Amino acid sequence: MTWIAPLSDRVQPQDMPPSSLTGVQNSSPPIHLVGLRGETLSFQVVIRSSQDVSNIHVDFSVNHDSPTASCITTHRFLEYYEHFTASDVKYGPIHPHDIPDPLIPFHDPYTPGRVIVSRIHVGPDFNQPVWLDITYSKNCLPGKYDGRMIVRSGEQIFRSTPVEFEILKPVLPDTAPISRWMELYVSRFYHGSGVTNDDEFRLMYQRAFVLAHNYGFSTNDSGGVHPTIQWDWKTGTPYSVDWTYYDKVYGPMLSGKLTGKHPNAWSLPIGTYSLGVGLWGGFTILGTNPSPIQNWKGVPDIATQNLAKLIVQHWKEKGWPIDKTFAYIFDEPIHKLYYYADTYKLIAKEADSLHKGSPKIRVMITDVPYITYKNQVGHDKLIMVGKVNIWAGAAEQFIPSRMQERQKQGDQVWFYQAGGPPFIGQNDLYSLGPGFRMWFWTAWKYRVNGVFYWADTFWNDARKDMNPFTNQGLGDGTIMYPGEQLHYIGFPDIKGLIPSVRMAQWRRGYEDYRYFTMLTQLGKKRDADQYVNHLVLHALDDGGYLPYWRSPLWQKPGDWSHDPQEWHKTRITMARLIAHLSENQP
């Protein structure tokens, strides 16, 4: 038994197919793939058997007689089920779960011709989804073309399905005006990637960067790799600066050499918490004798100004765009208030110092510029207003009307994952339904400048009993998986990273966002808004509830569509409207 499932459907092992989607033995209705040039279309074929079958193959081909066959590329992935134990809702009963997430490529993406998945095993009364990506290149000729998908075991054919590729004339733009970034945890990445020397580390890092780019986001660490600077801590001036290693690691990424484009967002080599949290020019907020806030004046201030100057000057010399970068100086500063009451004052002073060094430095913190519960007193956030450039608020604390006030003053506003439903689509292994995809619809709905996920490689370890494939908990902070650890689940290792269903959700969301941009450029912004508002009724803390758990949606699955077919059909409707409108363009 086989059936076709759309991208936003997270098929669990025991799910039964909808009767309308089940393929008839040896034959089934056509798969119709409608998309723009430059777009990747994804779907799943789910295989289920009443008995154990271990030699299943999924073949997917384009008719080679077609004049456009070479411009349609296909990639197949085996979906691997991650096992974890958790409740279905907050504070609910604990029980086991199996959710598909890692996408194991049938062929090694870094070694042509090397097979990773040679055959598929399906246990009795157990689902095994196979993920398919079909990309229409920009140079495809518009039109309809055919192909075929066959599911077989040896000579026995379980499903033979015609595929119709419908390539619409418009070209999906490469970019859209929204920042997209995830942090790569360099120490965990180094350990989990199985690297043994620096050349391997740089190779693996660059492959991670390219993979992230292909799925619609930029990734780098926040200060883990940085220039070597020797400071005179009596004056706060540098007496030697060496960018050699930083440029060796990051130069190919920042220059666009690897991807053909500069990264859309980049965390500058100013480590989170490096300015004054550890020890910076004699200033620290740690230990039993933290520095009084007035001690920032002098060496710490001067050194921070000089650091900003060094960074901006180096970017200028290299020809890298500084306007896409940010200084991620503090993460969730509210937690530091428990032991350093002047945390917000320190952030304001650090931001002032960086801006005095260069106004081109954009300061980002993961916080919002207002209190988030009514009894929050004594820590005035307003002192940071006018200093912070990018307010990256947790989804549960992001009140769109309040954040838009800062946008009017020239600040940017981002959101990240904290909270999950009902504020934003789930980001961990619980991300059933649209998940990351709806983040971009939410960003469009509330005019958000950027989205970011706190980590993409927060791997537990590289041991057999503690690795991202077999023991990663809920998978929070892990959406790229280490190819060097595939042997733990019975597949040949890959010298590079592999993607996940959640990454594909993110990519689809970003492609949807570019649809909205195209519709706007074609004079149909109202239509774009209507599509978004139809599927996403409410998200973030758009009711302005303080505290956020006062929301009437609290502990509910989220006030947006959870029907995968509805997301799928809406995308097709938008694609056809874009094609129709483009026909009438000069």
Same structural domain for residues 161 and 287? no
Q: What is the pTM of this model?
A: 0.94
Distance of alpha carbon 400 from alpha carbon 393, whole angstroms? 10
Same structural domain for residues 142 and 184? no
Distance of alpha carbon 46 from alpha carbon 56, whole angstroms? 12
Angle at 412 between CA 410 and CA 417, to 5 degrees: 160
Same structural domain for residues 291 and 370? yes
For tokens 């970068």, name the residue. Answer: 325
H helix runs in 158-293, sequence order: 186-192, 198-214, 244-254
CATH number at residue 133: 2.60.40.10
> How close are the terminal C-alpha atoms of the chain, in Å?
49
Q: Is 140 helix (H, G, I), strand (E, B) or coil?
A: coil
For tokens 């960074």, name the residue. Answer: 311
Per-residue model confidence as pLDDT tens for the chain (586 residues): 788 999 989 888 888 887 665 555 555 778 999 999 999 999 999 999 888 888 899 999 888 776 667 899 999 999 999 887 766 555 456 567 788 999 999 999 999 999 999 999 998 989 999 999 999 999 999 999 999 999 998 888 888 999 999 999 999 999 999 999 999 998 889 888 888 899 999 999 999 999 999 999 999 999 889 999 999 999 999 999 999 999 999 999 999 999 999 999 999 999 888 888 878 899 999 888 999 999 999 999 999 999 999 999 999 999 999 999 999 999 998 888 888 889 999 999 999 999 999 999 999 999 999 988 766 655 688 999 999 999 999 999 999 999 999 999 999 999 998 778 899 998 888 777 789 999 999 999 999 999 999 999 999 878 888 889 988 888 889 999 999 999 999 999 999 999 999 999 999 999 999 999 999 999 999 999 999 999 999 999 999 998 889 999 988 889 999 999 999 999 999 999 999 999 877 6
Same structural domain for residues 103 and 209? no
Q: Is 407 helix (H, G, I), strand (E, B) or coil?
A: helix
Q: Is 75 helix (H, G, I), strand (E, B) or coil?
A: strand
Torsion of CA 419, 423, 428, 433, to 10 degrees: 160
Examine residue 385 and state whether it is found in any structural domain, yes or no: yes
Distance of alpha carbon 293 from alpha carbon 508, whole angstroms? 46
Its domain, for residue 288, covers: 179-550
Same structural domain for residues 149 and 214? no
Final residue before a domain boundary, out of 171, 198, 231 = 171
With both helix axes pointing from N to C terminus, report the angle between 501-521 and 564-583 in degrees, rounded to the nearest 10.
30
Number of structural domains found in the chain: 2
Examine residue 542 and state whether it is found in any structural domain, yes or no: yes
Amino acid letter at 317? E
Cross-strand bridge partners of residue 120: 56
Examine residue 560 and state whether it is found in any structural domain, yes or no: no
Examine residue 556 and state whether it is found in any structural domain, yes or no: no
**pLDDT at site 177:** 95
Examine residue 573 and state whether it is found in any structural domain, yes or no: no
Final residue before a domain boundary, out of 171, 194, 211 = 171
Q: Return the number of other C-beta atoms located less than 10 Å from residue 231's C-beta.
A: 18
Distance of alpha carbon 61 from alpha carbon 306, whole angstroms? 58
Final residue before a domain boundary, out of 171, 192, 226 = 171
Contacts of 115 (CB under 8 A, 6+ apart): 106, 107, 108
Same structural domain for residues 218 and 109? no
Same structural domain for residues 266 and 287? yes
Q: Are 135 and 40 in contact (CB under 8 A)?
A: yes
Q: Is 395 helix (H, G, I), strand (E, B) or coil?
A: helix
Q: Are 173 and 39 in contact (CB under 8 A)?
A: no
Q: Return the number of other C-beta atoms located less than 10 Å from residue 70's C-beta.
A: 12
Same structural domain for residues 153 and 297? no
Report phi then psi at 219, rounded to 5: -140, 140
Same structural domain for residues 151 and 189? no
Same structural domain for residues 246 and 331? yes
Examine residue 273 and state whether it is found in any structural domain, yes or no: yes
Examine residue 396 and state whether it is found in any structural domain, yes or no: yes
Contacts of 471 (CB under 8 A, 6+ apart): 460, 465
CATH number at residue 348: 3.20.20
Amino acid letter at 298? G
Same structural domain for residues 433 and 474? yes
Sign of the alpha-carbon torsion through 482, 425, 94, 49:
negative
Same structural domain for residues 151 and 198? no
Examine residue 419 and state whether it is found in any structural domain, yes or no: yes
**Beta strands 156-171 and 143-153, pairing class:** antiparallel
